[in-house]
A and B are shown apart, each in its own frame.
Chain A
Amino acid sequence: MIELKNLDKSFGDHHVLKDVNATFERGKVNFVIGRSGSGKSVMTKCTVGLIEPDRGRVIYDGRDFTAMSQKERKVIRQEIGMLFQGSALFDSMTVQENVEFPLRMFSDMSDAERVKRAEACLERVELSDASGRFPAECSGGMQKRVGIARAIAMNPKYLFCDEPNSGLDPQTAIVIDNLISDITAEYGITTVVVSHDMNSVMEASDTIHFVHQGSICWQGDRAELLRGGVQELEDFVFASDLMRKIRKTGH
């Protein structure tokens, strides 16, 4: 479980996060949704320690991440897997080497064990035949799957996905959504997905947090989302005709 308590972050005069409180539950896919520029990415970066919040606490299973030294944070960082919007694969390495990378840096596995683990991760995302390719030789969907394989290589307790479906066709997007859901259930991890793709939200979310102007102004699940309740949320969710029809027909 990850808890955000009273998170505040400003850049100069721009107050990006305003007293954010949220709980991301274990074994569930926790979605963070909101318009572009609402503060979703800054919130995620504060959560994983890429940006230091001005105030507030980030707690990983009772461990106060914000109060830790960089050295102490390393332990938690090795429990985190992250899938980036652009995949962020190391382009000088092959797919196999990308997946092996965290194992090389932080585990005491032998070469054979490392290769075996990387192969298992690639098999899990159905990319065994792409292990020798470089990221530039892979499609967007394949890169995302390699990103997932790399993220799960160290058996993480926490998985963060930043816009996992951006730039993907609807079919591939569903594959990625399902993969994230399955892996979350399989490994019992706390997954946080930042997205503004309503298809993904309806496909894979267990809990939803709606961020508006730097604050979480609504929390709930899919069924509650369709009922709406907050004007800003309704403006965001039912901006598309498809979502309005779903609300009307109920499915």
Chain B
Amino acid sequence: MRWMYHIGRYMRLLAKSVRRPEKFGVFKELLMTELESIGLQSVGIVALLSIFMGAVICLQTAHQIGGWIPVYTIGFTVRQTMILEFSPTLIPVILAGKVGSNIASQIGTMRVTEQIDALDIMGVNSAGYLILPKVVAGVFIVPFLVVLSMVLGVGAGAWIGVATGLSPLADFEYGMQVDFRVFDVVYALTKTVVFGFILTSVSAYHGYYAEGGALEVGRSSTKAVVWSVVIIMVSNLVLTQLLLN
């Protein structure tokens, strides 16, 4: 029954967070800061992972097809894998580790050092002030990071295919275009919007209700990452079933 308590408290926190900001100008500034923190500061890690993922998928596919399946399958497989699963699911999971732990520890530290109490006593809606800009930034910027990941992953696949001689560029390009459906991209981006919401809001929840001292803030940060990943995975299954059928 403990999980029902957490779901209820999470819902109440979300309801408290989405109230109208006290000052729209302040909200805009905070949103910009979060877009930079969640988005721009994650570009490096997203690019690095995507390039290596795309390249490895290309090499593995080339190794599997062995000569009797058309070479353009390499381009097709890299595209489909990156667009359908690797970029929209793995990138948010990585972000849950990087951004989620940061959000939980930042808000958790504010909780245990009474900074959240200070906001509440002043009459500031602390949940709205601290959580709403992060959630809006996450929902908005994660899809952009995922699109970047798709482009870089497929690009890296093409580059390694050509560089190793496993797939001529023309075959790779042909494979990339075979049976391309715009819906696949829509499906992927729909998932990422939901994952962006989950990783920011679940992490904020764990930070907001942290209690005690540094040890508890560390624990809440770990819980934030673990639960964000678990909920992303479960949502991935549910959304895939809903969107693809």
**Per-residue interface assignment for chain A, residues 81 to 99, with 1 indicating a CB less than 8 Å from any chain B CB and 0 otherwise:** 0101110111100000000
Q: Are B121 and A80 in contact (CB under 8 A)?
A: yes
- A84 is contacted by which of B23, B114, B123, B124 (Cβ under 8 Å)? B114
Give min CB distance, B133 to chain A, whole Å: 13
Q: Are A50 and B120 in contact (CB under 8 A)?
A: yes
Chain A: interface residue total (CB-CB under 8 A): 22
In angstroms, Cα B115 to Cα A89, docked, is: 6
In angstroms, Cα B124 to Cα A101, docked, is: 10
B113 close to A (CB within 8 Å):
yes
Q: Are A82 and B121 in contact (CB under 8 A)?
A: yes
Q: From DSSP, what is the main secondary structure of chain A's interface residues?
A: mixed
Q: Are B123 and A88 in contact (CB under 8 A)?
A: no
Q: In the complex, which residue of chain A has the Cβ closest to the Cβ of B115?
A: A88
Q: Are B117 and A88 in contact (CB under 8 A)?
A: yes
| Residues of B contacting A78 in the complex (Cβ-Cβ under 8 angstroms) | 122-123
Q: Are A77 and B113 in contact (CB under 8 A)?
A: no
Q: Are B121 and A50 in contact (CB under 8 A)?
A: yes
- CB interface residues, B 98-121, toward A, < 8 Å: 110, 113-115, 117-118, 120-121
A56 close to B (CB within 8 Å):
no
Q: In the complex, which residue of chain A has the Cβ closest to the Cβ of B29?
A: A104
B215 close to A (CB within 8 Å):
no
In angstroms, Cα B122 to Cα A208, docked, is: 26
Q: Are B123 and A106 in contact (CB under 8 A)?
A: yes
**Per-residue interface assignment for chain B, residues 124 to 159, with 1 indicating a CB less than 8 Å from any chain A CB and 0 otherwise:** 100000000000000000000000000000000000
A residues near B (Cβ < 8 Å) are 48-50, 73-74, 77-78, 80, 82, 84-86, 88-91, 101-102, 104-106, 160
B residues near A (Cβ < 8 Å) are 22-23, 26, 110, 113-115, 117-118, 120-124
